[in-house]
Structure 1
Amino acid sequence: MVTGLNVTGRYLCRERSESCKVELHKFPCDKTSIRSAEREAVLTTTRVQSQVLGWLLIASIMLSSLLLTCVARCKSPISYLQLKFWREYAREENEFFDSYASLHAKKLAERNIQSFFEMTTPAPLPTPPRYAWEKISSFYKFKTMDKYYSTVHKYVETCKNPQNPVRILSTKSADISNPAALDFVDEGTMML
């Protein structure tokens, strides 16, 4: 509540007694000697102002977000249909990825448990290496100049040898080492 400000006091207590201005800062604690009717009138005015300011804030946030959305869509180089296709592709890819990952995890778990209990060497079951997972896990921003619709799509199209993907170091200098505090990030190396 802003009842302690001089400007507020002048506004809220302009048609009331002089004690209203003096004791306005005590309103939140209910330790005033102002008459009950006068106190309720001031509190009602404060509540009304609070409601109006709240609704104005909500309306301004909604209006600004609507305007930003409209401007962003008007200035976007991606057409509506292309964006619709990209969203549909992403949804389908996620569904296939989830079902295939679940199936692969089930096969791997079954193979490991079977190998454990039968005390045999497990049959090979190809699983992508860690850096392949890192490449498809990175953030992907769709661009109109790019022909890929996701990180998986880009990885599959650009990976020359899926059985043994090449590790590419980042552009950072090779003679500069990471500080010890940052060694946990990709174990000190960057993958592209």
Structure 2
Amino acid sequence: MSRRLAPGRLVLATHNPGKVREIDVLLGPFGMDVVAAGELGLPEPEETGTTFRANAELKALAAATASGLPALADDSGLCVDALDGAPGVYSARWAGPGKDFGVAMERVHRALAFGSPDTAYFVCALSLAWPDGHVQTYEGRVDGRLVWPPRGENGFGYDAMFVHADMAETFGEIDPALKHSISHRAHAFEQLVAACF
């Protein structure tokens, strides 16, 4: 059963500044006082789940329990059809310990054999958890294709190599406001808003 979220303080269970910016923009109209887990000194839990949903729920519950506040966690990544869905839940790990997504995009490019289909999709699982252990999860997906070399300085992660199925520009080239309205995160967020606000 869905639980409503009242305006007030909400922890974003992430240390990724790009995700903080995107989610803060999406939550702005709902009267939420957003604070990132990093600002509260909360540790990043080890992502041991095998699905985006499992990892999002793990992170949200850890942040809600540690902070005593409702917490929202995102687990998202790039899934490449020709790589059997990789990097998938390991998307951030493909960027290495320095979280260099230039390295991650190069790794995806090298892994694709010449002539492989370039279709891919982004997935986002958004989990909202309360300190009492209640959790709700919403998932979004956006399909597209990959390009090489990467294009654009907007966005973060794999955005500069991903082109939405209905577009010609990468997520790294389009206006961030447009990306916020059509992305995998936006689709998951629409479901969260319908259920919780």
With the length of structure 1 as denominator, give the TM-score of the two structures: 0.20
Tell me which structure has the larger Cα radius of gyration. 1
Higher RCO (C-alpha under 8 Å, 6+ residues apart) = 2
Q: Would you tell me which structure has more helix in proportion to its own residues? A: 1
Structure with the higher strand share, 1 or 2: 2
Compute the TM-score of the two structures, normalised by the length of structure 2: 0.20
